[in-house]
Amino acid sequence: MNHLLSIEDLDREAIERIIAQAARFAEVSDREIKKVPTLRGRMVLNLFYEASTRTRSSFELAAKRLSADVVNFAASGSSVEKGESLKDTVLTLSAHKPDAIVLRTPWAGAAALVSQWCGAAIVNAGDGKHEHPTQALLDVYTLKDRLGSIEGASVWIVGDVAHSRVARSNIIAFQRMGARVTVAGPPTLIPRGIETLGCEVRFTLDELDSADVVYALRMQRERMGDTQVPSLREYSALYQINARRLSPRQLLMHPGPVNRGVELSGEVIDSPQAVITAQVEAGVVVRMAVLYELLAGRRGPSSAPGQREPSTVAADEPRQLA
Ligand code: ASP
């Protein structure tokens, strides 16, 4: 794996390999000293053009636990505010020779573009409405941890599917792991043709009972026009996941940040069925596994794009974890 741009690039075997590696790293996170020397001397650049709490902090922690050096770059407060383009910013920061760039932008396809501009391994940490592959991986990890196996599970992804990169990546990842996926929400927030990804579509929650897992999405008001939902109150009345709609046997997931009282009621967020905090915890070990997969055993960034060495490190190589 040279880059992680889209969950589409990972077949089931690759997803399982990363999840298994993450499980091994979970053991490191339980130690008193939560660090391994695996990526000592490597540099990870976090390049964020959009707000982030979970993703940025967990990539930083993941890189540090692998002993890599980390540079955090946020567009606000940088020369981006003076009009520097994404390309010039990437080329400028590439002078520091990062081995990996973790990139979040509001632009679909930006991560793929950046992968052509420099020799670093690119990790897509969210590109507009397009994809968020590490979120999908950490959600697979969390579900596998809770259910044992995802095979045959029914997962309902509920809410603002139209603006959600998480929905796209998760529909693909959950199905690759053998789940049946249904997306549900108001017709204005379900993109036309979404069923070509293999999922079912519902415009009501009448059959929500059939789900083993309810995955609620944030209402992405920053990407939404006024015409898409008449009001958040109306949305909540029809689609909010609350104690009335969630049955006790169902697991509840959400990628965060949650609009408390909009897509989820306070009581379900705080219920034992919610695995939202476990998702955040999984984020660190899964991102460690992704950085490991991309960087361990590779040459530094001086090699030209497309000339990176194939991964030679077995996922379960114990010496790397010593
Ligand atoms: N944190 C996720 C993302 O960056 C979900 C969200 O923002 O609603 O896509």
Q: Which residues 6+ apart lie within 8 Å of 145 measured at CB?
A: 278, 282
For ligand 1, the distance from its centroid to the CA atom of residue 318, given in whole angstroms, is: 34
Q: How many angstroms is it from 108 CA to the middle of ligand 1?
A: 14
Give pLDDT tens digits for 130-176: 999 999 999 999 999 999 999 999 999 999 999 999 999 999 999 99
- Mutate which of 48, 59, 137, 165 for ligand 1? The one with the most ligand atoms within 8 Å of its CB, which is 165
Which DSSP letter does residue 260 get?
B
218 lines ligand 1 (CB under 6 A): yes
Any ligand 1 atom below 6 A from CB of 126: yes
- pLDDT tens-digit series, residues 111-127: 999 999 999 999 999 99
Q: Which atom of ligand 1 is nearest to the CA of 125?
A: 4
- Ligand 1 mean position to 300 CA, how many Å? 31
Written as one letter, the residue type at 152 is G
Give the C-alpha separation, 255 to 263, whole Å: 12
Q: Is 17 in the pocket of ligand 1 (CB under 6 A)?
A: no
Looking at the CA of residue 164, tell me the nearest atom of ligand 1: 9
How far is ligand 1, taken at its centre, from the CA of residue 55, in Å?
Answer: 9
The residue behind tokens 């497309």 is 306
Q: Is the CB of 255 under 6 A from ligand 1?
A: yes
Which residues are bridge partners to 260 per DSSP?
264
Place of tokens 């090699």: 303
The whole-model pTM stands at 0.91
pLDDT > 70 fraction of the chain, expressed in percent and rounded: 91
User: Cα(181) to centroid of ligand 1, in Å?
Assistant: 19
Specify the 3-state DSSP secondary structure of 15: helix
- CB 256 less than 6 A from any atom of ligand 1: yes
Query: What's the distance, CA 303 to chain centroid?
Result: 28
Count other C-beta atoms under 10 Å from residue 188's C-beta.
15
User: Is ligand 1 within 6 A of the CB of residue 121?
Assistant: no
* Element housing 37 (H / E): none
Residue 228: both structure tokens together: 């898409």
Distance from C-alpha of 48 to C-alpha of 74, rounded to nearest angstrom: 5
Specify the ligand 1 atom closest to the Cα of 217.
8
**Which pLDDT does position 226 carry in this prediction?**
66
Task: Look at residue 29 in the predicted model and tell me its pLDDT.
Answer: 82
Q: What confidence tier does 300 reach under pLDDT thresholds 50, 70, 90?
A: low
Distance CA 274, CA 289 (A): 24
**Torsion of Cα atoms, 40 then 43 then 44 then 49, to 10°:** 160
Residue-wise pLDDT for 28-77, tens only, equals 888 899 899 999 999 999 999 998 999 999 999 999 999 999 999 988 87
Assess whether the C-beta atom of 166 lies below 6 angstroms from ligand 1. yes
Instruction: Indicate whether residue 305 lines ligand 1 (CB < 6 A).
Output: no
Which of 53, 58, 164 has the most ligand 1 atoms within 8 A of CB, as the residue to mutate?
164
Question: Residue 251 above 60 pLDDT?
Answer: yes
Ligand 1 centroid to Cα of residue 310, in Å, is 31
Q: What is the set of domains in the chain, with CATH numbers?
A: 7-131+283-317 (3.40.50.1370), 133-279 (3.40.50.1370)
* 214, HSE (Cβ side, Cα atoms, 13 Å): 29
Q: What does the pLDDT read at residue 227?
A: 66
Ligand 1 near 161 CB (within 6 A)? no
Phi, psi of 162 (to 5 degrees): -60, -35
Q: Which atom of ligand 1 is nearest to the CA of 165?
A: 9
